[in-house]
Amino acid sequence: MHHFEYKNKELYCESVPVRDIAAEVGTPFYLYSTATLTRHFKAFDEAFAMPHVTCFATKACSNIAILNLFAGLGGGADIVSGGELFRALKAGVDPRKIVYSGVGKSVEELRFGLESGILMFNIESVQELHALQKVAEDMGVSAPVSFRVNPDVDPKTHAYISTGLAKNKFGIPIQDALDVYVTAQKMQYIEVIGVSCHIGSQLTQISPFVESLQKVKIFIGRLAKAGIHISHLDLGGGLGIRYDSEDPPLPAAYAEAIKDEMEGLDCTLILEPGRVIVGNAGILVTKVLYTKQGGKKFVIVDAGMNDLARPSLYGAYHGIQPVVETEEGNEIADVVGPICETGDFLARGQEVPITQSGDLLAVMSSGAYGFSMASNYNSRPRVPEVLVDGDQFYVIRKRETYEDLIAGETIPSS
């Protein structure tokens, strides 16, 4: 359920015609709906009637206005870099609700996390544990730690977004984790508080979540026998959304399945949803530049793979809808960008509205891993981000300029 709807054949974001925003900010641009973001956050967060913290996965959509919105709803943040920690703090996220994930945190990033007083570090290797112990010792503080275990569960999603299989780089194999906990427990500057796992993204079934939680529960039992008591259980993110015809479980069904399994565990639950909150709360608006009939029909638009990488990166599907509906009907076409790469497409062999040069198109479900994955490839300034709230809209990130492109570059003077 989202607030991008047609009224009199015209696409609106809440009460604002998308066409009006395009006239003001130009194209392409990302557009988010406050009502949709709020609704999705609450639907998720309120589904869990047990002690929990919903730590929004910052990497899915990291604009500080959006992080601030979730912080105002009581949310925390799951971060994967010092840059994301900086954003979360600037956005007003309570550091006591920040969890730090990722396989390769640098010493500087570990220090930044400790200085900020975050809730916990999700540690992914023994070497990282030692690095954190050393930083904590230098600072004379205790580091709250959870280990990300790899439960070897198949999330049944795209290979690039599977993370909980033994062959993936993430976490510590669950069968090796007990030794690591025992080691950590003895370390003076480490405070062991949690277990975490995150098995993948865009999951459309509940069973892999339940399977991994069952494995983690058994593991927590083994820890208890070894005298190690866990107060935080982090189940990661990964709940999928509908891009096309997927039928993912609703947050309420997911929460219900988790609740049953949590029975008897005296832990605060940490959740790290990203895509499920923001994916369908954002669109990318682009303009048709040209159309041409080669071996097939091509619609050339002003947004490319540097603006929205998911189709190129994962072969991902995004619905393409008209900003103003016409009587022209649909056609099968490739919607491609201006980038000098064959892999530069937003849609391939897909049913799209018949358009002419100058028409506006909405690339649906682009709120997650859209702008946050954008780059400057081909020296294209990154596009603006716009947030609608009721009948108002706000530019929450300006369009980059050519000057922005070379800021920080210098020609060595001889």
Shortest distance in whole angstroms from residue 64 CB to ligand PLP: 18
319 annotated as ligand-binding: no
DSSP class of residue 56? E
Asked if 230 and 185 count as a contact pair (C-beta separation under 8 A), the reply is no
Point out the residues that are catalytic: 340
Count of other CB atoms within 10 angstroms of residue 220: 17
With vertex at residue 235, the alpha carbon angle to CA 230 and CA 240, rounded to the nearest 5 degrees, is 175
Q: Which of 78/152 has CB closer to ligand PLP?
A: 78
Contacts with ligand PLP by CB under 6 A: the residue count is 18
Tell whether residue 148 is among the known ligand binding residues.
Answer: no
Is the Cβ of residue 270 or residue 361 nearer to ligand PLP in the bound state? 270
Site for ligand PLP in 177-236 (CB under 6 A): 198, 201, 236
**Residue 116 neighbours by CB distance under 10 Å:** 17
Site for ligand PLP in 40-59 (CB under 6 A): 57, 59
Cβ-based nearer residue to ligand PLP, 37 or 276: 276
Asked if 273 is part of the footprint of ligand PLP (rule: CB under 6 A), the reply reads: yes
Q: How many CA atoms lie within 13 A of 176 on its CB side?
A: 11
Selected binder of ligand PLP within 113, 208, 238, 337 (CB under 6 A): 238
Cα distances from 106 to residues 58, 82, 110, 112, in angstroms, run: 18, 9, 6, 10
Tokens of 161: 């977004």
**Is 246 annotated as a binding-site member?**
no
Instruction: Say how far apart CA 312 and CA 310 lie, in whole Å.
Output: 5
Distance CA 229, CA 248 (A): 34
Closest separation in Å from C-beta 202 to ligand PLP: 6
Beta carbon nearer to ligand PLP, 11 or 119: 119
Q: Examine residue 95 and say whether the peptide bond preceding it is cis (omega within 30 degrees of 0).
A: no
CB 357 within 8 Å of CB 288: yes
Among 28, 58, 67, 78, binds ligand PLP (CB under 6 A): 78
Got the DSSP string for 53-99? EEEEEGGG---HHHHHHHHHTT-EEEESSHHHHHHHHHTT--GGGEE
Interface with ligand PLP in residues 347-376 (CB under 6 A): 368
**Which of 18, 60, 223, 270 is in the footprint of ligand PLP by CB under 6 A?**
60
Q: Which is nearer to ligand PLP, 236 or 304 (CB)?
A: 236
Please, which of residues 89-128 interact with ligand PLP by CB under 6 A? 101
Q: Which residue from 364, 360, 312 is spatially nearest to 340, judged by alpha carbons?
A: 312
Name which position in 105, 215, 275, 310 contacts ligand PLP (CB under 6 A). Answer: 275
Annotated binding site for substrate: 275, 310, 314, 341, 369
Query: Which residues lie near ligand PLP (CB under 6 A)?
Result: 57, 59-60, 78, 80, 101, 198, 201, 236-239, 272-276, 368
